[in-house]
Structure formats: C-alpha cells, structure tokens
Chain A
Amino acid sequence: MTTPVATAPAAVPDAPGAVRPRRRRLAVVLALAAGTAALFVLTVATGSHRVPVAEVARILLGGTADDPRWTVIVEQVRLPRALTAAAVGAALAVAGVQMQTLFRNALADPFSLGVSSGASMGVAAVVVGTGGVAGSFTGNLAGLGRVGVVLAASLGAAGVLALVLLLSRWVQSAVTLLVIGVMIGSAATAVVGVMLVYARPERTQQFVMWGLGSFSATTWPDLHVMLPVIGAGLLTALLTAKRLNALLLGEDYARTMGLNVRRSRDLALLGTSLLAGAATAFCGPVAFLGLAVPHLTRVALGTSDHRALIPASMLAGAFLALACALLSQPPGTDSVLPLNAVTSLFGAPVVIAFLIRSRRGVQGVAS
C-alpha cells in the first residue's frame, strides 16, 4: 500500500532539544542506580549488632567469618531484608506506574483495585480459621504459621484481581473499572471486619502485625518464591512500556493507534497483581510507595515516557524502600519501628515537599 504521505524527509533533522532531556534522564537513572546500590550495601553492612565491614564482605563472598553469628546475621537477617526491600520497593513503584497510566488517575496505586483488601481477607481468614469457625482449609493454612498467612494473602489478592479482570471483560471504561475495584476493596475490608469479630483475640495479633508492614519478615524460602514472581512482574511491565505510552492520551487514541486496549489492560492488571500481590503477601500492605514513587520519578525524569519511567521507577522504588528499611531499624538500636509508620510519616513529607517545589507537580497523569 503506497501512501502518498509517507514521504518523510530523508535526512534526520537535528533536534537540539532532544539531547538535553536524554542526558538528564541518563543522569537521573545513573544517580538512582548508584544510590540504590549504596543503600543496599549500607543495609547489609549495618544493623543492631556491629559486624566489621571486612567480615561482611568476606561473608558475602562466601568466606567464613571469625564469629559464626556474623554469618547468620548477614546471611539470614540482613541480606534477605535488603533484597526484600529492594524488590518490594521496585514492585510497588512499577505497579503504581501501571495503575496510574491505565486508569489515568493520579491517585491510583497498586491497592486501588482491592489487592491489599483481598490479601487482608486471606490473612483474616487464617486468623479466624484457627477459631474453628471456618472450614478445615483455612484451619490448615493457619497450622502452617507464616507460610499459611502468605499463601492466604496471595490467594486473597489473586481472588480479588481475578474478579476485577473478569469484570473488566464487560466494562469499557477504565474509570468505571477503578470505581468497581475500589468498591470490591471496601467490600473485602468489610468482610475482614466481620471475620475479625469471630477471630480468637490472641490470634488477631498476627493480623495486626501483618497490617503494619515489614521488610524483615522474609526468609530465604520466602525469597525463593517472591523474587521470581516479582521478577516476572517487572519483566511484564518493561515489555508493556510501548503499550502504556500509547495509553497516555487515553484509550480512544490508543485504539486509533492500533493498540489492543483490552489486551494491554489485561497485561497491566496481570503485572500489577503479580507485583502487588507478592509484595503484600510477604510484607503486608506497604503504604505510600506505590502511590508516590511514580510521581517522584516522573518529575525527576521530566517525562511520562514509560520506556524511561518504568526502569527509573524500579530504581527509585528500591531506593526509597531501602531508605525506609534503614529508618525503621536504625543501625545501632535494637528496636523496630512499624514500616508503614516510617513510609507514611517520614516519606510523605519528603514527597510533598518535593512535589510542591517542583514546578509541575503531579501533572504526569490525567486527573
């Protein structure tokens, strides 16, 4: 098909403005990568107990430490925590990018579709399960302890997302879908409330602790499950960058540019459910990262182009999550602050200040 129009000038016009933004993006990404790496090292090298840095390095390189306890501390406590923080931070940030673009809503985040409510429902079912009210299924899950909690949270999150995906077959508008997601979320929250009434009081602690959020809960067996799932979710997100770009102008424009909007939506929802579901199941509903990191990254990069935004958000999410992990367990102290308190109380003011100072605020997505 010859198009009379497709005769674009052969020479590439020099685009003087194009160079500077590209350089800025590269600088932002490099700075984030360096910062994330530095915080990762800091998280592994510091903690309640002083382990000499040289020993930490030796342990990480597979050597034997002078004190066998140091090996346990670095391998079993600090490394899983740092990996969890980095992975979950990246996961929530990218899930946030996907949701905000998909729903063209600055307030959308991985939990808008009721992921955390679904996960909460799973955890609450376990908590109730031991009371003998529910069937043996949740009872058995509860017998598995934390594994049961994680399994139930994943099932709950996946259940809610499956429902949303199913409904999205019939719903044209992303905004309607968002509203439906929010409503399913509140319904799930209501179910949680009812279930907790019947839970054994001493078991509700499990739910309370889970709800506070934590990067410290994961052990290597957990990571063997969590890291591949999050990896798959991040890869899915990277591969949908072009689709998300087409969605920046809205679904109608995307359709006229040849995009299969429904498939793109399914892919984004699938990626989000993998990312947010895994993160929530293992770490509880971690507030704020999924909402704020995409905004911060857009402003820092100066673009909404997902081919830059998604990788940069991964790094920014990992960076902020590691910072929150460090703050929640300040080196040299024994105590732990609840993660969500740190993310919200320390993170929110930083983000607000950053957004106010930056001229364009949260313009990155439609309102």
Chain B
Amino acid sequence: MTDTLTEPVTDTPAGPDRPGGLATQGLSVGYRARPLRGRGAGRAVLSGLDLRARAGELTVLLGPNGAGKSTLLRTLCGLLPPLDGRIRIGGADLAHQPPAALARRLAVVLTDRVDPGLLSVRELAGLGRHPHTGFTGRLTAADHAAVEWALKAVGAEHLASRPAAELSDGERQRVLTARALAQEPEVVLLDEPTAFLDVPSRVALTVLLRDLARDKGLTVVVSTHDLELALRVADAVWLVDRDSRVHAGAPEDLIHSGAVAAAFDADHLAFDPASGTFGLRRTARAGVAVEAPPDMLPLLERALAREGLALTDPGDPAATTRVGCEGADRFTLTGPDGRVVHTHGFHELTRTVRTW
C-alpha cells in the first residue's frame, strides 16, 4: 500500500476554503469479481476520480440511473473497498483509519430501508453516539446533549419522544440525518435521502442539508435524482455522465459547459440552460394562432404544446386554426374545418384541440 501523503491536498485556485473536507485521488470504485481475493481484480464502475468536497458546502452527486452513484458513495463511506486510489477525510487517509475513529469523522444516511422497531426518535438518534460511548454504550450527559443538538439541527426536537416507527417518510429522513449528525462527524454522506419524499419534504430536506453545511461547517455530499432542485441548491456538483466521466464544479459551471445536457438529454427531454429546468422535447404537428392577454399566454403555450401545437403569430396566414381568449377562462376555438367552439377551462380546450 502507498504511504500516507504528507502534504495536504493542494487546493484549486484561491477561495476561502475551510479546513477538512473530503477528497479522492485516483479513486476507482466498483465491485471485485471475488470478494475474498486481493484488491485490483474487479470491475471498475468509475475510475481515475480526483474529486473534492469542501467543508461548509453542499456537494451533490448527480447522474443517470446505473451510472455508479451509489457505488461511489458506498466507497466513500467505507462500505466498499476502493479498487484503486485513496480517499482522504480532513487530510487523513480513510484506509488507515480504525473503524471507530472513522465513524467519528464520517457519518452516513443510506438508502437501506430501516425498521426502527420500538425505538423513540431520541433513542434512534442516540444510536449515532455509538462511536463515542464506552464499552457499555451508556450515554453520558455530553452524549445526551449531542443528541438533542442533532435533533434540533434538523428541526425534529418536537418529535423526540415519538416512536420512530410512526414517523412520516420525511420526518424519518430528518431523524436519520439527526442520527448521522449525532455522530458529530466532519463529513456527512447521504445516499438519495429524498427518494421517497413528497415535493415539499424534498425541498425542505435539501435546503436543510445546505444550511447544515453552511452553518455547521460540515462537508455534505448527497446523491439524488432530483436534478432541478439540486442544481438550484447545491454549492458544488459531481456529475457522472453516460461515459462514466465525472464532471465537478458549481451547477452553473456544468450547465454552461453543457455537461448537464449531455448527461440527461433524452428523446423526450431537453435541458433548458436558461431556466435550469427540463422540458418535454416534442416537434409541433401544426401551428395555431393565439389571441390572448399576456398573463394567459404561457399557460396556453404549455397546454397547446402538450397537444403538439405551436403558437404562431395571430396574423400568420398559414395558421388555419385559432384560439381566442375571452377573459377569465373562456376560449373560442376555430378548428381546421372552420367550426367555432366555445370552451370553458383548459381541460375542455385541450380535449377539443386534440381532435384537430
């Protein structure tokens, strides 16, 4: 094995970097062909990774399904041995850390579905004190304080006495995050923490993670499918593309370079760099002339696009069809056969134009 690096990982350009953070050097991740044989012989999913997640920042790991996000994350938290290269946490090599010492530096929230059984929220979060407690596992006053602090940090202090099994999905992810925080780590890794959550909980948890990174100086790495939200909230992005290359940078860097579009664009989906969102990619089958007040135009455009119709200028002679808006939600539709229909609401509108 290689010696521990004596010099600190060199920082890219300048910047008010905090100490700590997580870095990889020439890291290859994947599964060994035979778990028991020596390292090296294996199928690398991702290789040659030189990544850096900084303290105080929320780093988001993005990529299409099957790109190796989970493999990378499980390697970073020590559940999978790296095929090659090394991982450094706060300057110390992960491979040289005793498990308990590592657990005091790095905590995780996994995708594993947990069944907390008959544990209260406080007890569940208290499990995170494992690497800090003594032989009997008794919690000291300091341990209790850390647990309360962690629950408060995720805004779950009001849940503390509830049975963990009765939590909603969003509450449970918060509590599991609290459990990770109770480990008092420098680095927190979360594998798709928002996967089972509804939209408000997703936003809330993602923002919470960013705030934790900022306020507590944590290094937070999150993998997610929630592209648009991640691009909006993340401080840094690791983007795994279809060719197993990992692009790193601020969300805007990757949008600008076209990496995001290259990674996610598909037959029916197009990334719009301007809005940072995805749109349905669909060629219009016809044009339709629209006369409507400006506040109605975007909605009309969405509705008609869904039906494969593009807006054209009201004066365009090629447009044989026409949609007029009589205020409120009343529409006058002129079909290709010249028939005029009055509709009420967007649903009637779309059902009518579908017949054109």
Q: Return the CB mask of A232-274 against B: 1 if under 8 Å, else 0.
A: 0000000101100110111011011111100000000000000
Asked if A3 CB lies within 8 Å of chain B CBs, one says yes
* Closest chain B CB from A230 CB (angstroms): 21
Chain B minimum-CB-distance residue to A20: B161
Q: A8 to B150: give the CA distance in the assembly, Å.
A: 8
Chain B interface bracket (under 10, 10 to 19, 20 to 34, 35 or more): 35 or more
Query: A residues within 8 A CB of B145?
Result: 8-13
Contacts of B18 in A (CB 8 A): 4
- Residues of A near B165 (CB, < 8 A) are 360, 363
Tell which of B79, B106, B130, B179 has the most Cβ of chain A within 10 Å: B130
| Interface residues in A349-367 (C-beta closer than 8 Å to B) | 360, 363-367
Give the nearest-CB partner of B89 in chain A.
A1
1/0 per residue B182-225: CB within 8 Å of A? 01111000000000000000000000000000001110000000
- Interface residues in B99-140 by Cβ distance below 8 A to A read 99-108, 110, 112, 114-120, 122-124, 127-128, 130-131, 133, 135-138
Q: Which residue of B lies closest to A11 (CB)?
A: B145
**Interface mask (B30-46 → A, CB under 8 Å = 1, otherwise 0):** 00000110000000000
- Across the interface, name the chain B residue whose C-beta is closest to A301: B118
User: Complex: how many Å from CA A364 to CA B116?
Assistant: 8
Task: State the interface size on chain A (CB cutoff 8 A).
Answer: 49
A307 within 8 A of B: yes
Contacts of A18 in B (CB 8 A): 122, 144, 161
B148 in the interface (beta carbon within 8 A): yes
B130 with A246: CB separation less than 8 A: yes
Check if A303 is an interface residue, CB within 8 A of chain B.
Answer: yes
Residue A172 at the chain B interface, CB threshold 8 Å: yes
Give, as a whole number of angstroms, the nearest-CB distance from B137 to chain A: 3
Q: How far is the CA of A248 from the CA of B130 in the complex (A)?
A: 12
Whether the pair B55, A365 counts as a contact (CB closer than 8 A) is no
Say how far A265's CB is from chain B's closest CB, in angstroms. 15
Whether A249 contacts B114 in the complex (CB less than 8 A), given A255-B99, A257-B127, A305-B119, comes out as yes
Option from B107, B181, B216 in Cβ contact (under 8 Å) with A256: B107
Q: Does B264 contact A (CB under 8 A)?
A: no
Q: Which residues of B contact A159 (CB under 8 A)?
A: none
Q: Flag if A367 contacts B115 (CB, 8 Å).
A: yes
The reply to whether B148 and A248 form a contact with Cβ atoms under 8 Å apart is: no
With a cutoff of 8 Å between Cβ atoms, the chain A residues found around residue B170 in the complex are: none
Please name all residues of chain B whose beta carbon is closer than 8 Å to the beta carbon of A258 when the two chains form the complex: 98-104, 130-131
Closest residue on chain B to residue A309 by CB atoms: B118
Beta-carbon nearest neighbor of B151 in chain A: A13
Given contacts A8-B142, A242-B133, 14 further A-B contacts (CB under 8 A): A1-B105, A5-B184, A8-B145, A12-B145, A13-B145, A13-B148, A242-B135, A245-B137, A249-B124, A253-B108, A253-B127, A298-B117, A304-B118, A305-B119
Interface residues of A in 277-315 (CB under 8 A from B): 298-299, 301-305, 307
Asked whether A303 and B119 contact (CB < 8 A) given A15-B148, A245-B137, the answer is yes
Interfacial chain A residues near B115, Cβ < 8 Å: 104, 363, 365-367
4 smallest beta-carbon distances between A and B, as pairs? A17-B161, A242-B137, A258-B103, A258-B100
Residues of B with C-beta under 8 A to A302 = 118
Q: Tell whether A303 pairs with B123 under 8 Å between CB atoms, given A12-B145, A245-B130.
A: yes
B residues sitting closer than 8 Å to A (CB atoms) are: 18-20, 35-36, 55, 77-79, 90, 92, 98-108, 110, 112, 114-120, 122-124, 127-128, 130-131, 133, 135-138, 141-142, 144-146, 148-149, 160-161, 163, 165, 179, 181, 183-186, 216-218
Chain A residues with CB below 8 A from B216, complex form:
4-5
**Closest partner residue, chain B, to A100 (CB atom):** B117
Are A257 and B114 touching (Cβ within 8 A)? no
Cβ of A17: which chain B residues have Cβ within 8 Å of it? Answer: 120, 122, 160-161
CA distance A6 to B185 in the complex (A): 7
A282–B112 Cα distance when bound, in Å, is 41
CA distance A6 to B150 in the complex (A): 11
List chain A residues, Cβ under 8 A from B163.
Answer: 360
Given contacts A1-B90, A5-B186, A258-B104, contact A248 B119 (CB under 8 A): yes
Q: Which residue of A lies closest to B130 (CB)?
A: A257
- In the bound complex, do residue B106 and residue A256 qualify as a contact, i.e. CB atoms below 8 Å apart? yes
A5 to B212 CA separation, bound complex (whole angstroms): 10
Q: Across the interface, name the chain B residue whose C-beta is closest to A305.
A: B123
28 A-B pairs within 8 Å (CB atoms) are namely A5-B181, A5-B184, A5-B217, A6-B184, A8-B184, A15-B148, A16-B161, A17-B160, A104-B115, A172-B35, A239-B135, A242-B137, A245-B137, A246-B127, A252-B79, A252-B110, A253-B108, A256-B78, A256-B107, A256-B108, A258-B101, A258-B104, A258-B131, A259-B99, A363-B118, A363-B165, A364-B118, A366-B114
A194 to chain B, nearest CB (A): 35
- The interface residues of chain A lying within 8 Å CB-to-CB of B108 are 253, 256
Cβ contacts under 8 Å, B135 to chain A: 239, 242
Please indicate the chain A residues that have their CB under 8 angstroms from the CB of B78 in the complex.
Answer: 255-256
Within the complex, the shortest CB–CB distance from A303 to chain B, in Å, comes to 5
Q: Bound state CA distance, A6 and B143, in angstroms?
A: 11
Which residues on the A side are within 8 Å of B120 (C-beta)? Answer: 17, 21, 303
Q: For A306, give the chain B residue with the smallest CB separation.
A: B137
Residue of A with least CB distance to B92:
A1
Contact with B along A198-218 (1 / 0, CB 8 A): 000000000000000000000
Q: A4-B217, A11-B145, A12-B144 are in contact. Are A241 and B137 (CB under 8 A)?
A: yes
